[in-house]
Structure 1
């Protein structure tokens, strides 16, 4: 098994992150073509997260090449409703592993790094969203103790 290292992204890593987003965007189109399209992604979104104090792109590297990333950020407190218990939590906004490097444990390594990122900030849980059709991702998340907490449903009109 190749040696994978995890590190936070810097501005010089933006092109590699954007390239991986192209793969993610295509996967979204493949799963839900009625809601997603492949379109150019600018660098600014990635640059903002790289510079943010409350977010990180955690890069997975193999032999100096970026082969995946997890975008994790501080999400804040749960909504202030009288019936909701207060919790501070993080959001795993995106997780991508290069298609040529899948099924090698890189996604698991990135999930572990994202959990550590949240724990190091004394956050109480890590939350993510996943398309219901993305069975491989759901299986990965479930193998790392993620459980379904809510379900979003839609009705086309």
Structure 2
């Protein structure tokens, strides 16, 4: 694949419909991992997602990146800066909340390029740590994030209440 034909840039309002399509791909993937926790792409409220994305686009502490090839959005990353609990030492952390590349463009280095762009954005804002959560069943995701130098530091747990 020729990367010179791919542009990575900040998302714009006109990209939202195409980002939603990528979010549906991500939702389907996670739903297969844990159908009791994640909605599938068909279960998502497109109105809610669009409203959420439009709100995120307006925030100064959020970065939304798209990778475009010709007129097609083929990748999407979203991250944000969080102010932490005063009990914690790192006070400014970044959080990678969404990362998805269309299937036929995976394993070609595009995800790494998008991640590096996000990482630059975070560094310019003096972020102390970049964090993310990954489902314990998502072996592929865990491997990917470890390859990008993320290390496990906490275990999340949940208990059904209904």
TM-score by length of 1: 0.91
The alignment covers a number of residue pairs equal to 154
Q: Write out per-residue CA displacement over residues 15-49 of structure 1, whole angstroms, 9 at most, x where no aligned residue.
A: 01101001011011100012222223321001111
Q: Mapping of 1:130-141 within 5 angstroms? A: 130-141=134-145
Q: Does 2:43 align with 1:37?
A: no
Q: Write out per-residue CA displacement over residues 72-126 of structure 1, whole angstroms, 9 at most, x where no aligned residue.
A: 11112x3112xx3243111111101112221111111111111111001111111
2:76 alignment counterpart: 69
Q: Mapping of 1:137-148 within 5 angstroms? A: 137-148=141-152
Query: After the TM superposition, which of the residue ranges 92-101 and 10-19 deviates more from structure 2?
Result: 92-101
Instruction: Please list every run of 5 or more consecutive structure 2 residues that lacks an aligned counterpart in the other structure.
Output: none
Q: Does 2:124 align with 1:120?
A: yes
Kindly report the root-mean-square deviation, in angstroms, between the aligned alpha carbons of the 2 structures.
1.5
Is contact 2:65-2:78 (8 Å) kept?
yes
2:86 alignment counterpart: 80
Show structure 1 runs of 4+ deviating over 6 A. none
